[in-house]
A and B are shown apart, each in its own frame.
Chain A
Amino acid sequence: DIQMTQSPSSLSASVGDRITITCRASQYISNYLNWYQQQPGKAPQVLIYGASTLHSGVPSRFSGSGSGTDFTLTISGLQPEDFATYYCQQTYINVKTFGQGTKVEVK
């Protein structure tokens, strides 16, 4: 299986901050990398797919980059509704694994 490692596991930030979450794959996955946001008690929602394509309706302060094994999710200008847990997921192979998540908390 392809292992997905996110860092950090958690971070504290303030409204307006720019934050970056990284995701590393244990082997090459091209751009088969998706990012999800999960609010407490809710199902996850896709933010970015194909490493850098913003899903319809997702604010432009979210951006993704990377290819191969190293990827980043950036939020430029953190908003109150962005405090949540973020997961990366690889879909390069049929076994579609998630990262362990990054919790973004209020500083």
Chain B
Amino acid sequence: QVTLKESGPVLVKPTETLTLTCTVSGFSLSDARMGVSWIRQPPGKALEWLAHIYSNDGKAYSTSLKSRLSISKDTSKSQVVLTLTNMDPVDTATYYCARVGLARDAFDVWGQGTMVTVSS
């Protein structure tokens, strides 16, 4: 069974750096054609794609957030890590990780999401 689970702080202060971990099971991050994305959703708003890491360690970032984002993976730990610097209250959102497991890079399995609030 393929699962993904997000973990990280519930509350961060403005200007701090957010670090989130997505721990996967049921597949390997080195499997060909497998990749993991991070997506976020502010309360009551739409999904926003943030970043993606490919099995060959290639990376892609949201153009608007590229300067603040970093994605990496530790295949031995089955973890994908997202960092977002200089947090602001507008970054308050539920953060999801999701696996690309279908043709056309569709996300077939999502984590449950983790809510992050930015407040002093």
Contacts and interface: CB of A to CB of B under 8 A. Distances in A.
Interface of A: 1, 31-34, 36, 38, 43-46, 49-51, 53, 55, 87, 89, 91, 94-101
A32 B104 contact: yes
Given A43-B112, A44-B110, A95-B60, A100 B46 contact: yes
A28 to B, nearest CB: 14
A96 B105 contact: yes
17 contacts: A1-B63, A34-B106, A43-B111, A44-B47, A44-B107, A49-B103, A50-B106, A53-B103, A87-B46, A89-B47, A95-B49, A95-B62, A96-B49, A96-B105, A97-B49, A98-B47, A101-B47
Say which size band chain B's interface belongs to: 20 to 34
A43 B96 contact: yes
Given A96-B37, A98-B46, A98-B49, A43 B106 contact: no
A89 B62 CA distance: 14
Contacts of A49: 102-104, 106
